[in-house]
Amino acid sequence: MLFLTLSGISARILAGAFSVSLLLSFSGLSFAEAWPAKPLTLLVGFGAGGGADTLSRLVARELEKEIGQPVVVKNVAGGGGVVMATKLKNSEPDGYTFGLASNSSFDSMPWFAELEYKADDFDYLTTVTQLQNAIVASGDAPFNSWDEMIEYGRSSGLTFASISPITRRFINLVAEKEGVKIRIVPMRGGLEIMNSLIGGHVDIAWSAGVHQAYLSDGKLQVLAALNDERLSTSPEKPTVRELGYDKSYTTYFMFSAPKGIPEAILNKLTDALRKASASPAVAELAEDRMAFPNVVLEPEALKSFVLNNSDYYREAYRK
């Protein structure tokens, strides 16, 4: 027994963690109760230094307090979270590796790009913030509402800055429904888009929340919210659903893990993660500094949210 444990756990683990697991295996506790016996790894689907990374590192710090083990943050940037999700799918489902990305990496990207994974390859743990998706325009634009924008577009045409296939599909739908000619200009990243709007190089754009810093001095304006409900930073602006579109685009930064983690461990991890995500420090960073609502969903709600979206995009992609 002693030798088995020794070779099984191997010398690479820290001495402290090792002695703890040794003790627990002697006292006859089950595997689940021994978790966590070593440091956890949080894979972040974005580069170091950005908003998502900052948020992840703070959650990791709070999670350490909950579980009493270090949480190592690793940045696996690329493809807007797709590289991370691929890596996560191929990692061991032992409850020691989990990841953060936007739900679009799981529910829509597998249908738009050829990827190694699908939405049901993962367990969904919880969310930490809701993004603030909106169609935005410069404060100096010749229109100040969605309807004025459509009217202006019918006479002069519109240019739209796009960052993903989903934003492209939505604006094409608008163009078709309203009979407006909209030219779609590809851009890389939210900040480049904000710059182009303020500089007057494009008329309208999709923003996932970067625009919020530019609202107070009138550099940018929101035309319509894309989330299910109106945005807390622009409560007077209608959602696209209110404007007659049978669509909404609610997105979250959320945690997931490879499928197959023993249920007891999964529950422990989820509970600890939800406590960390709802902690005052995380809430303050998300709400006060980044202006994103600190929404911490139940795992069941998140799971059905992702899988429903995935079904929807599978159908949408077939058309």
78 in contact with another protein (CB under 8 A): yes
Dihedral in degrees, nearest 10, Cα atoms 59, 62, 67, 72: 50
Return the number of the residue (258 or 299) whose C-beta is nearest another protein.
258
Torsions phi, psi for 207 (to 5 deg): -130, 140
Q: How many CB atoms lie within 10 A of CB 70?
A: 16
In whole angstroms, what is the distance from residue 204 CA to residue 206 CA?
7
7 in contact with another protein (CB under 8 A): no
Torsions phi, psi for 295 (to 5 deg): -95, 120
Could you tell me which stretch among 32-40, 211-219, 234-242, 247-255 binds another protein (CB under 8 A)?
A: 211-219
Could you tell me which stretch among 198-206, 228-236, 255-263, 308-316 binds another protein (CB under 8 A)?
A: 198-206
Sheet-wide strand order for 158-162: 182-186, 158-162, 204-207, 134-138, 220-225
In whole angstroms, what is the distance from residue 297 CA to residue 98 CA?
17
In whole angstroms, what is the distance from residue 43 CA to residue 25 CA?
29
Return the number of the residue (110 or 299) whose C-beta is nearest another protein.
110
The size of the interface with another protein (CB under 8 A), counted in residues, is 52
The amino acid at residue 115 is L
Q: The tokens of 15 are what?
A: 């001495």
287 in contact with another protein (CB under 8 A): no
Q: Which of 3, 10, 179, 188 binds another protein (CB under 8 A)?
A: 188
Return the number of the residue (47 or 142) whose C-beta is nearest another protein.
47
In whole angstroms, what is the distance from residue 212 CA to residue 194 CA?
10
Do 312 and 169 touch, CB atoms closer than 8 A? no
Dihedral in degrees, nearest 10, Cα atoms 229, 165, 153, 247: -30
Q: Which of 40, 101, 290, 302 binds another protein (CB under 8 A)?
A: 290
Return the number of the residue (51 or 293) whose C-beta is nearest another protein.
51
Q: Which of 32, 115, 264, 307 binds another protein (CB under 8 A)?
A: 115
108 in contact with another protein (CB under 8 A): no
Beta bridge partners of 205: 136, 161
Provide, rounded to whole angstroms, the least separation between the CB of residue 157 and another protein.
8
Return the number of the residue (45 or 299) whose C-beta is nearest another protein.
45
Q: Which of residues 18-77 bind another protein (CB under 8 A)?
A: 47-51, 53-54, 57-58, 73, 76-77
Could you tell me which stretch among 37-45, 91-99, 216-224, 250-258 binds another protein (CB under 8 A)?
A: 216-224
Q: Which of 119, 131, 194, 224 binds another protein (CB under 8 A)?
A: 194
Could you tell me which stretch among 3-11, 128-136, 143-151, 212-220 binds another protein (CB under 8 A)?
A: 212-220
Consecutive H or E run containing 40:
strand 40-44
In whole angstroms, what is the distance from residue 248 CA to residue 115 CA?
25
Q: Residues interacting with another protein, by CB under 8 A?
A: 47-51, 53-54, 57-58, 73, 76-79, 82-83, 86-87, 112-116, 157, 159, 164-165, 183-188, 191-192, 194-196, 198-202, 213-214, 216-217, 219, 285, 288-290
